[in-house]
Amino acid sequence: MQKPSVPKGTRDFSPVEMNRRQYIFDTVKEVFRLYGFSPLETPAMENLSTLLGKYGDEGDKLLFKILNSGDYGAGLDDEEVRSASKICEKGLRYDLTVPFARYVVQHQNEIVFPFKRYQIQPVWRADRPQKGRYREFYQCDVDIIGSRSLLGEVELVKIVADVFARLGIKVVLKINNRKILYGIAETIGHADKMTDITVAIDKLEKIGAENVNAELRERGIDDKAIAMLQPILELAGDNMTKLNKLESILAGSETGLAGIDEMRTLFGYMADSGIDLSTELDLSLARGLNYYTGAIFEVKACDYAIGSICGGGRYDNLTGIFGLPDVSGVGISFGADRIYDVLSGLELFPEDVDCSTRLLFMNMGGEEEKASLTLLSQVRKTGIPAEIYPENAKMKKQMEYANRRAIPFVAIIGSRELEQRRATVKNMRTGEQCDVPFESVPEFVKQ
């Protein structure tokens, strides 16, 4: 018989991995709730009509399609059967953004706006599996929709600061604004080529200025424009200095100036709030997704090279694709897999994250087992996770179980202990053994 396996690009999460993942999800969830965001979940399957055409041609190809149930080919000719559109009506969600937009439009009359929701669910992409890229992975999205207020951006920046402070990850927040990028495109005489320009300069850090310029030329940007662009991308100084210099450069672009104004307001709010977060206005930051229309964000870990671990921005027309125009929102998404790698790489997971059970009772059978069961119930009543080895097996086997499960305390109730009503409690880390009166065991093993 073949050894069973999971589909390529997918993963099982073992208890150790799950405890670490739950630590990340619990941390972000707690912060989201503290900031007044409510949970939302949408189904794994969406109608293909909801998904298709929302992620570009490449994205459409990466959708996992679900075969219609029942006799899926009945009444279709062979050509129709060969056309996925006839035999599949549903697909797995590709991200949380499009289902969220679909939800907002579908439930617009029940939703209280501004709608602040978070959503932590898996998404599926038929990407070529490779290191660090999976076909099933979780996204953690948090959005405020139905308000143009820059306080939305401020709240998200605070959330970023709070989440990474709690996780102990030193980060830098890179920030830019699509209106400024438009202003730049306009100023260098290529307002129509904003997407080409942003796609190219987004690669600045990765491929360097020369290669970016080559790509710009390929995309039809003339040398004069490229020469104008260069000094803008090299603007130096702190964020406010950069904005001041930019103001004179973009003086002719109304949109550009509006973007500068937004950034000033945002930085002002951030200074007032005393947010403890290193923040950098990065004019080369573009982010691929074309639905962004205002501020854009990206978060990088300072001490671990892994690309961005969180990102997002302002969008003015996300729900337009489903027929509801003019609803502005702002959102960010935390990359759980990368955050996991950073925490692992820097050994930042809390020491007790791997330990679920705090106390194991050895099973000595008979009356000793009975006494252990009674004490076990009392330990659990105090909220301490505890268990008993289910069989009267050899001590060595039971001890090995405790060790491999990383259980910090083991209680032994043998005949002597039963008589004296004192358990032998062993600290598995130090090897130390103590005689503890039955009634004091919960207190003894508490942290």
For the segment 354-413, give every residue that binds a copy of itself (CB under 8 A): 356-357, 360, 363, 370, 373-374, 377, 380, 383-388, 390-391, 401, 404-405
Contacting residue, 28, 94, 117, 438, with a copy of itself by CB under 8 A: 117
Asked if residue 410 lies in contact with residue 426, where contact means CB atoms within 8 angstroms, the answer is yes
Residue 9: closest CA among 177, 179, 172, 137: 137
**Site size for a copy of itself (CB under 8 A):** 101
User: According to CB under 8 A, which residues from 54 to 73 bind a copy of itself?
Assistant: 61-62, 64-67, 69-70, 72-73
- 89 counts as binding a copy of itself under rule CB under 8 A: yes
Q: Which residues of 236-255 are buried (b: 16+ CB within 10 A; e: fewer)?
A: eeebeebbeebeebbeebeb
CA distance 317 to 100: 13
Stretch in the footprint of a copy of itself (CB under 8 A) among 152-160, 236-244, 277-285, 413-421 = 152-160
- Whichever of 231 and 385 has its CB closer to a copy of itself, that residue is 385
Hey, CA dihedral for 366, 372, 375, 377, is it positive or negative? negative
- 352 counts as binding a copy of itself under rule CB under 8 A: no
Tokens 């001890």 locate to 399
Stretch in the footprint of a copy of itself (CB under 8 A) among 4-12, 183-191, 197-205, 243-251 = 4-12
User: According to CB under 8 A, which residues from 192 to 221 bind a copy of itself?
Assistant: none
- 314 counts as binding a copy of itself under rule CB under 8 A: no
- How far is residue 77 from each of residues 69, 73, 74, 80, measured CA to CA in Å? 18, 8, 8, 5
User: According to CB under 8 A, which residues from 233 to 292 bind a copy of itself?
Assistant: 269, 272-274
- 316 counts as binding a copy of itself under rule CB under 8 A: no
Q: Residue 190: CB partners within 8 Å, gap ≥ 6? A: 196, 197, 221, 225
- 5 counts as binding a copy of itself under rule CB under 8 A: yes
User: According to CB under 8 A, which residues from 119 to 138 bind a copy of itself?
Assistant: 122, 124, 126, 135-136
For the record, the structure tokens of 339 come out as: 């955050």
- 107 counts as binding a copy of itself under rule CB under 8 A: yes
Contacting residue, 23, 27, 35, 240, with a copy of itself by CB under 8 A: 35
For the record, the structure tokens of 304 come out as: 């671990």
Stretch in the footprint of a copy of itself (CB under 8 A) among 86-94, 202-210, 211-219, 337-345 = 86-94
User: Which residues, listed in sequence order, are joined to residue 314 by a DSSP beta bridge?
Assistant: 330
Residue 330: closest CA among 177, 144, 150, 173: 144
- 40 counts as binding a copy of itself under rule CB under 8 A: yes
- 37 counts as binding a copy of itself under rule CB under 8 A: yes
| Strand 171-177 versus strand 136-145 pairing type | unpaired
Contacting residue, 103, 164, 304, 340, with a copy of itself by CB under 8 A: 103
